[in-house]
């Protein structure tokens, strides 16, 4: 059964009344931008708002939430958080957990829980925000989030270069890594039947982006690009392979996927093969049993 509450208290009632595991929660009724305080660079938004709508609203004041998973018009804030989604700019801006400062969720037992706050620095109490990011709906239903925001970059530029072999890729990545350039994007990508490509980007003050783009052009072969290499991931597994960044090319060679996207700065490889099964640790199982004693939410 998919729960479809009208509001938070409805969700509380539905969860309390549930007697069997649920198949999910449709939170499309919770879709309001509660507050945006540009002077504080913070915003509070209900979890049913799509990432694209949220970005459009805060973008009116030249601010943004600097995470960029593909298809933001189809991703709700709730999914962004519970699935811990990210995109190519992860190299420059980090993950959603780095921007989340407050959270409201409904527990499996129907409790309405608040954690964190509205301020950008806060250590009062345990950090349940971190626990809930990436919980995949196993520990509670996120209904509202407060983020610290960033000023929109004055300029962004992206470049790509095709390499004939993965060995060439490895050499060029090391060169870029040690170049002193400050990439917001440092990706590898390959589509079926074509050569591997390196995609890089700069985000920030116009003058910095210009001067860095100039330095990059001194390394031959880079041409203007966009970030469309990442879009195929929408239908694929969100659960990548992850290795130390210096081991990424080895990892690609070992798995040898026909099609992939990889974050060279973070050591993350997405490819269509399913992520391996993983058994939750004893601590994770204890947390699950305590947070969802009746086992009505999704399994870990």
Partner 1 sequence: MTQSELASQLRALCGEDAVIANEDELLVYECDAYTMQKNLPTAVVLPRTTEEVVAIVKFCAEHNLPIIPRGAGTSLSGTVLAVDGGVMIALTRMNRVLEIDARNRRALVESGCVNAWITREAVPHGLFFAPDPSSQSACTIGGNIATNAGGPHTLKNGVTTNHVLGYEIILPDGSIEWFGTEPNGGEDVAGLDLRGAAIGSEGMFGVVTRVLVRLTPKPSTFKTFLGVFDSVDDASQTVSDIISAGIVPAALEMMDQLITAAVEEAYQFGFPLDAGAVLIVELDGLADGVETQGHQVESICQVNGAREVRVAADDTERAAIWKCRKRAFGAVGRLSPNYVTQDGVVPRSRVPEIMRFIQATSKESGLRIPNVFHAGDGNIHPLILFDERKPDEVKRALAAGDAILTKCVELGGSVSGEHGIGAEKIDFMARQFAKADLNAMQLLRKAFDPEKRCNPHKMFPGAKRCAEFAPKKQAAA
Residues forming beta bridges with residue 159, ordered by sequence position: 200, 224
CA-to-CA separations, 186 to 69, 172, 208, in angstroms, rounded: 15, 11, 17
- Considering only 7, 9, 114, 231, the residue that binds partner 1 (CB under 8 A) is 114
Q: Binding to partner 1 (CB under 8 A): which residues in 281-300?
A: 281-284, 286-287, 290-291, 300
**What's the length of the chain?**
300
Minimum gap (Å) between residue 131 Cβ and partner 1: 4
Yes or no: say if 106 and 112 are a contact pair by the CB < 8 Å rule: yes
Max Cα–Cα distance, the chain, nearest Å: 65
- Considering only 52, 119, 167, 299, the residue that binds partner 1 (CB under 8 A) is 119
Q: Which residues contact 193 (CB under 8 A, 6 or more apart)?
A: 258
Residues forming beta bridges with residue 43, ordered by sequence position: 36, 147
Q: Binding to partner 1 (CB under 8 A): which residues in 176-215?
A: 177, 180, 182, 204-205, 207-208, 210-212
Minimum gap (Å) between residue 98 Cβ and partner 1: 6
Q: Which is nearer to partner 1, 31 or 181 (CB)?
A: 181
Token representation of residue 63: 């601010």
- Considering only 51, 200, 268, 297, the residue that binds partner 1 (CB under 8 A) is 268
- Considering only 94, 257, 272, 273, the residue that binds partner 1 (CB under 8 A) is 94
- Considering only 6, 26, 62, 73, the residue that binds partner 1 (CB under 8 A) is 62
Separation of alpha carbons 56 and 94, rounded Å = 21
The residue range among 48-56, 145-153, 226-234, 254-262 that interacts with partner 1, by the rule CB under 8 A, is 145-153
Contact between 122 and partner 1 per CB under 8 A: yes
- Considering only 82, 135, 184, 203, the residue that binds partner 1 (CB under 8 A) is 135
Separation of alpha carbons 213 and 295, rounded Å = 53
Yes or no: say if 174 and 124 are a contact pair by the CB < 8 Å rule: no
Contact between 151 and partner 1 per CB under 8 A: yes
């Amino acid at each position: 059964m998919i729960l479809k509450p009208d509001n938070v208290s409805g969700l509380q009632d539905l969860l309390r009344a549930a007697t069997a595991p649920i198949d999910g929660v449709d939170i499309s009724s919770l879709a309001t931008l509660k507050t945006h305080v540009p002077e504080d660079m913070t915003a509070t938004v209900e979890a049913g708002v799509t990432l694209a709508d949220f970005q459009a609203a805060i973008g009116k004041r030249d601010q943004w939430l600097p995470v960029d998973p593909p298809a933001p018009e189809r991703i709700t804030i709730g999914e962004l958080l519970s699935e811990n989604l990210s995109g190519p700019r992860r190299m420059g801006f980090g993950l959603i957990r780095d921007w989340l400062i407050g959270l409201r969720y409904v527990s499996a037992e129907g409790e309405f829980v608040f954690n964190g706050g509205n301020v950008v620095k806060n250590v009062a109490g345990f950090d349940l925000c971190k626990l809930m990011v990436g919980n995949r709906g196993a520990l509670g239903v996120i209904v509202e989030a407060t983020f610290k925001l960033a000023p929109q970059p004055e300029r962004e530029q992206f470049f790509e270069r095709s390499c004939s072999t993965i060995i060439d890729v490895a050499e060029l990545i090391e060169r870029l890594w040690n170049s002193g350039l400050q990439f917001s994007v440092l990706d590898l990508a390959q589509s079926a039947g074509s050569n591997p490509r390196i995609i890089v980007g700069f985000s920030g003050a116009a003058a910095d982006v210009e001067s860095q783009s100039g330095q990059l052009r001194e390394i031959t072969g880079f041409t203007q690009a966009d970030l469309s290499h990442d879009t195929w991931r929408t239908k694929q597994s969100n659960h990548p392979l992850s290795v130390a960044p210096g081991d990424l090319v080895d990892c690609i060679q070992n798995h040898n996927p026909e099609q992939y996207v990889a974050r060279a700065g973070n050591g993350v490889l997405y490819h269509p093969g399913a992520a391996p099964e993983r058994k939750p640790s004893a601590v994770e199982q204890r947390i699950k049993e305590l947070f969802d004693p009746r086992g009505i939410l999704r399994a870990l």
